[in-house]
Amino acid sequence: MCRWAAYRGEPLYLEELVSSPAHSLIAQSHCATRATTATNGDGFGIAWYGDHPEPGRYRDILPAWSDCNLKSIARQIRSPLFLAHVRAATGGGTRRDNCHPFTHGRWSFMHNGQVGHFDALRRPMEAMLDDELYSQRQGTTDSELLFLMALQFGLDRDPIGAVGETIAFVERLAGHLGQEVLVRFTAAFSDGETLYAIRYASDWRAPTLYAAPMGPSGGYCLVSEPLDDDHNAWVEIPDGTAVIVSENGVDVRLFSPGEPAEPARTQQV
Amino acid sequence: MCRWAAYRGEPLYLEELVSSPAHSLIAQSHCATRATTATNGDGFGIAWYGDHPEPGRYRDILPAWSDCNLKSIARQIRSPLFLAHVRAATGGGTRRDNCHPFTHGRWSFMHNGQVGHFDALRRPMEAMLDDELYSQRQGTTDSELLFLMALQFGLDRDPIGAVGETIAFVERLAGHLGQEVLVRFTAAFSDGETLYAIRYASDWRAPTLYAAPMGPSGGYCLVSEPLDDDHNAWVEIPDGTAVIVSENGVDVRLFSPGEPAEPARTQQV
Amino acid sequence: MCRWAAYRGEPLYLEELVSSPAHSLIAQSHCATRATTATNGDGFGIAWYGDHPEPGRYRDILPAWSDCNLKSIARQIRSPLFLAHVRAATGGGTRRDNCHPFTHGRWSFMHNGQVGHFDALRRPMEAMLDDELYSQRQGTTDSELLFLMALQFGLDRDPIGAVGETIAFVERLAGHLGQEVLVRFTAAFSDGETLYAIRYASDWRAPTLYAAPMGPSGGYCLVSEPLDDDHNAWVEIPDGTAVIVSENGVDVRLFSPGEPAEPARTQQV
Amino acid sequence: MCRWAAYRGEPLYLEELVSSPAHSLIAQSHCATRATTATNGDGFGIAWYGDHPEPGRYRDILPAWSDCNLKSIARQIRSPLFLAHVRAATGGGTRRDNCHPFTHGRWSFMHNGQVGHFDALRRPMEAMLDDELYSQRQGTTDSELLFLMALQFGLDRDPIGAVGETIAFVERLAGHLGQEVLVRFTAAFSDGETLYAIRYASDWRAPTLYAAPMGPSGGYCLVSEPLDDDHNAWVEIPDGTAVIVSENGVDVRLFSPGEPAEPARTQQV
């Protein structure tokens, strides 16, 4: 079970979410308390938006808590929008190409969850990609492939809809192939302007997703698990939900795969 | 341009070819003299046959000359049949999964050369693989894919023929797609019993291949470039040739892709 | 808290202790159950004796469970005497030079425990080393330094005595400097002939040590924690004990630092 | 022989010196033309000044040209003052702790050159350090040790003088110990405000040092070798010279170890 955190708001030093001693992703990954997998030692990654449309990225396969580079980079870089991920491998070897966040152009993407029976579905899923996206495939994870499929299905035009279509495609594919239908998907992704997150599972057992206000003014943080014990601060986002953090604040919408996106019910988390 | 060495004969410590100070693959990789690419710092790998049918393997992405593990392992392990490779990346990122030798069951394979316009050919080449071999694809190199295709085309039944069919397929594919037809292929591979090598190029400009007797008694060494300056000891194997080192000695045959293997003209190199 | 296993007996494939799926050091390190530190993801190492007097060694900083090289090497190499270690860093950065086992000539050494207030003691401890051993210092751990001091104090002549003198020196040094006297030391070491282990702590709270017969005939395994749940098979070695596994079987002796080694009370564990 | 580049001026993206395709440190390191050592594949590092007094740092042991993280970081980060180094190991193993730049508080330091007979001088050099600096020693290189000694000798108060005293100390030490006196030292260092460089060698054979204006307005770049073939743009700094790049422009002074710093002869390079 991986862990991740994403932020959008006034520029914040990455270290505040990534590597601060008490309540950060690294502290969590070294001493997991809520997760069923005890350790998150299979690599990490950060993607942040700065002066360029495409994000910067730093990934490595060491345990996050051992990496001096990560600490130094997270201390120096301040960004209004970033994603950070700590990996516990469930499939795909330990190597940089399998570490989240994945990026493509201005998009970044990270994921916690799984595609059931991915071994049987991998090839027809890859076959869906057009040549350009197929050639971008670097690793072997289900997560990277879900991201490439979402790009194929129009992430640029309709981000939530494209992810919904991706998940629906995978679920139908599993059904056609006589496999158990199981997609668990708690993901965050961004185009550098807006931060999106989705919590969904075919079996209603999606990895958790929480949100809280953070940073100097009007910022929001989305996390796979609360970063500290102040449980009042964190709102759990239920299964079947999409969260959109933009300059207009936070939208929370019902999410179900394959359907047109629900009209927004703007609300404050 | 990569470098490699392969040995079959009485058990030899790997270090004699891999890491000895004067005349070894590591010495070569650090201070290349003949090759057009000055450096070979993009990883290395060794595969050796011991007590099990399948080979042991050690690969890493450090420059070979920096790796203390490699020195220690090469000093301890003695094997009657092994392959060693130092990589200069021409395509595919620097990561372990892209380092030679590649292995599958009892087979090991390493390659120096290239498939021209691989970006355009990669997808239809991967499409040729059956599901089991497709799922074995870990990296992004042309070399690994040539190996998987050779397995598909019967490496177990007719090793030289299967490689020939692979190359012929790729050449025809390039032609059909209107691409320049270019496969340069100087490779060694083994099933743990016999050591095979092929030097071939569509344009008759294949990377070099040399052979020399080596080791206590009746052993042979095949290398991409001579390991020392005793040029009398090394025989250059010409373009369009297959070499088969078995318990019966050395066979050298004409090789051309897609044709049935030539009847053997057994001869001593 | 690190974990380790050591074996002496009929040649055994390393994988039986290192990487077998159910009951091995790697299985333990990924899913620690008894240890107070939840994870062991800061590197690993193996040292084994083969044809040469000095051991082979393979160390890396990845989590042991992610390392394909380790699995392959452990599957191929069979040895009558080897040490294997999985690290949870308590001091010293995550890097190869800080990974156990440490080696020097024919000696290998690995350690679980700590020197209290090592920051204050490091420099005078290093000052004890003669120039040759001082120049061998590669890393920053207390463990490597304890090993170099034991070499200084005569590991070659009287292994148990030299380790006793080392610990006594450190305890006295801490006292002189007004520091709390605390050495916790559960270590295994070997010269390639005999396997030694010591469990000792200034405060009688040494990391655990267990022994069990293992392997085809007359072999013994020493471990920091039992490798499986068959608790009848594993005998706990009490604090203040030295264990000597040689061709004569197993000796278990009282151990206290700085005293001449006790006369042997040979007994079967 | 290592290579490095340092910049002070209007904020510049690191990639312009570090990783741009044509004329950068990475291009140089992959295809060295002037250096006597053909390859620079033993790691790299960057240190840059941003919002904090202490620099950020990213180091790794891969060849610089293989590191996707470096490319991404160098593309995102813009800094008014930074140091970049590509390593060809002459001593000290390949590991992060041996990669330049070294940092301490707000200081950063990188070096090209060597201390002759360092094996014999290392211990008395380390013995000069006070306890706090001694405990900061992480690696085994002469370069890191020269930096720690310069800190000891007052880098904060008189940067050029402290480096002069360090070199003089090492030269005298070598003489006292009956060793050949040889320090070759082409280094750059900074406190985040001013960029310093020194070219000096006991035998007047110091590694080269060049300077050129660079960046939007009034910036300067110091390099171990010209980054491009426009030789008119680069001024060679002679042996026995210190260069000081500050908000007041560029000072070039005579430098000789152990003497009080020369009065400045301010001039435009």
Write out the DSSP string of B79-101: EEEEEEEE---SSS-SSGGGSSP
Determine the Cα angle at A191 with ends A190 and A196, to 5°: 30
Taking CB atoms and an 8 Å limit, are D131 and C138 in contact across chains? no
Query: What pLDDT is stored for residue C230 in this prediction?
Result: 72
Residue B241 forms part of a structural domain? yes
Among the partner-chain residues A96, A123, A138, the one whose CB lies closest to the CB of B140 is A138
Residue A261 forms part of a structural domain? no
Among the partner-chain residues D48, D73, D76, the one whose CB lies closest to the CB of A52 is D76
Strand (E) positions, chain D? 3-13, 44-48, 56-60, 78-86, 102-104, 107-115, 183-190, 195-201, 210-214, 219-223, 235-236, 241-246, 249-254, 265-266
d(CA A3, CA A26): 10
Contact list, A67 vs chain C (CB under 8 Å)? 94
**Which residues of A are known catalytic residues?**
2
Strands D183-190 and D195-201: antiparallel
CB A57 within 8 A of CB A138: no
CA dihedral C172, C178, C179, C182 (to 10 degrees): 30
Contact list, B62 vs chain D (CB under 8 Å)? 61-62, 94
Q: Which region among A6-15, B222-231, D12-21, D255-264 has the lowest average model confidence (pLDDT)? A: D255-264
Is the pLDDT reported for residue B118 higher than 80?
Answer: yes
pLDDT tens per residue, range C35-89: 444 456 678 999 999 999 999 999 998 878 778 899 999 999 999 999 999 887 6
Among the partner-chain residues B51, B57, B73, the one whose CB lies closest to the CB of C58 is B73
Q: Which residue of C has its CA nearest to B49?
A: C76
Phi-psi region at A178: left, alpha or beta (left = phi > 0; alpha = psi -120 to 50): left
Is the pLDDT reported for residue D170 higher than 60?
Answer: yes
Place C266 in a pLDDT band, splitting at 50, 70 and 90.
Answer: very low
Taking CB atoms and an 8 Å limit, are B96 and A96 in contact across chains? no
Q: How far is D57 from chain A (nearest CA, A)?
A: 6
Residue among B76, B96, B103, B136 with most chain C CBs within 10 A, to mutate: B76
pLDDT tens per residue, range D199-227: 999 999 999 999 999 877 889 999 998 88
Is the pLDDT reported for residue B192 higher than 50?
Answer: yes
CB D50 within 8 A of CB D60: no
Residue A162 forms part of a structural domain? yes
- Per the structure, how many domains does chain C have? 1
Place B65 in a pLDDT band, splitting at 50, 70 and 90.
Answer: confident
Question: Is C2 among the residues known to form the active site?
Answer: yes
Mean pLDDT of C174-180: 92
Taking CB atoms and an 8 Å limit, are D39 and B30 in contact across chains? yes
Mean pLDDT of C134-150: 94
Query: What pLDDT is stored for residue D217 in this prediction?
Result: 82
Question: Phi and psi dihedrals of A163, rounded to 5?
Answer: -70, -40
pLDDT tens per residue, range D123-138: 999 999 999 999 999 9
Among the partner-chain residues C66, C68, C94, the one whose CB lies closest to the CB of A66 is C94
Q: Which residue of A has its CA nearest to C30?
A: A39
The whole-chain average pLDDT of chain B stands at: 88
Structural domain of D44: 3-266
Higher pLDDT, B95 or D145: D145
Residue among D19, D52, D57, D76 with most chain A CBs within 10 A, to mutate: D76
CB B79 within 8 A of CB B46: no
Taking CB atoms and an 8 Å limit, are D38 and B39 in contact across chains? yes
Q: What is the count of residue pairs from A and C with beta carbons less than 8 Å apart?
A: 43
Place D21 in a pLDDT band, splitting at 50, 70 and 90.
Answer: low
Residues of D in CB contact (< 8 Å) with A are 48, 50-52, 56-60, 68-69, 72-73, 75-78, 96
d(CA B32, CA B34): 6
Mean pLDDT of D249-269: 69
pLDDT tens per residue, range C211-229: 999 877 889 999 998 887 6
Is the pLDDT reported for residue D35 higher than 60?
Answer: no
CB A18 within 8 A of CB A224: no
Mean pLDDT of C185-212: 97
CB A196 within 8 A of CB A242: yes
d(CA C211, CA C245): 10
Query: What pLDDT is stored for residue C31 in this prediction?
Result: 57
Query: What pLDDT is stored for residue A90 in this prediction?
Result: 61
d(CA D31, CA A29): 40
In chain B, % of residues over pLDDT 70: 87
Is the pLDDT reported for residue B31 higher than 80?
Answer: no
Residue among D1, D65, D66 with most chain B CBs within 10 A, to mutate: D66
Q: How far apart are the first and last CA of chain D?
A: 25
Mean pLDDT of D13-27: 82
Q: Which region among A156-165, B235-244, C30-39, D151-160 has the lowest average model confidence (pLDDT)? A: C30-39
Is the pLDDT reported for residue B133 higher than 80?
Answer: yes
Is the pLDDT reported for residue C6 higher than 80?
Answer: yes
Higher pLDDT, C268 or A131: A131
CB B12 within 8 A of CB B78: yes
CB B121 within 8 A of CB B174: yes
Q: Which region among A25-29, B166-170, C9-13, D58-62 has the lowest average model confidence (pLDDT)? A: A25-29
Mean pLDDT of B68-93: 87
- Count of CB atoms situated within 10 Å of the CB of C135: 15
Contact list, B38 vs chain D (CB under 8 Å)? 31-32, 38-39
d(CA A157, CA A122): 25
Q: Which residue of A has its CA nearest to D57?
A: A72
Q: Which chains touch C (3 or more CB pairs under 8 A)?
A: A, B, D
Residue among B72, B79, B83 with most chain C CBs within 10 A, to mutate: B72
Residue B263 forms part of a structural domain? no
CB A123 within 8 A of CB A140: no
Q: How far is B67 from chain D (nearest CA, A)?
A: 8
Q: Which residue of D has its CA nearest to A50?
A: D76
Q: How far is CA B25 from CA B18, C52, C118, in A?
A: 5, 22, 42
Mean pLDDT of C172-186: 94
The CATH number covering residue B155 comes to 3.60.20.10
CA dihedral D224, D225, D226, D228 (to 10 degrees): -120
Average pLDDT for consecutive 10-residue bins of chain A (269 residues)? Answer: 91 90 73 48 90 95 84 95 85 80 97 94 94 92 96 96 96 93 97 98 95 88 86 90 95 85 44
Higher pLDDT, B132 or C218: B132
Query: What pLDDT is stored for residue B265 in this prediction?
Result: 43
Determine the Cα angle at B34 with ends B30 and B35, to 5°: 75
Residue B231 forms part of a structural domain? yes
Q: Which chains touch A (3 or more CB pairs under 8 A)?
A: B, C, D
- D53 class by beta-carbon count within 10 Å (0-12 exposed, 13-18 middle, 19+ buried): exposed
Contacts for C201 with CB less than 8 Å, ≥ 6 apart: C113, C182, C183, C184, C185, C207, C239
Q: Which chains touch B (3 or more CB pairs under 8 A)?
A: A, C, D
Higher pLDDT, C186 or C87: C186
Q: Quick one: chain D helix, strand, coil %, rounded to 5?
A: 25, 30, 45
Instruction: Give me B98's structure tokens.
Output: 């892209």
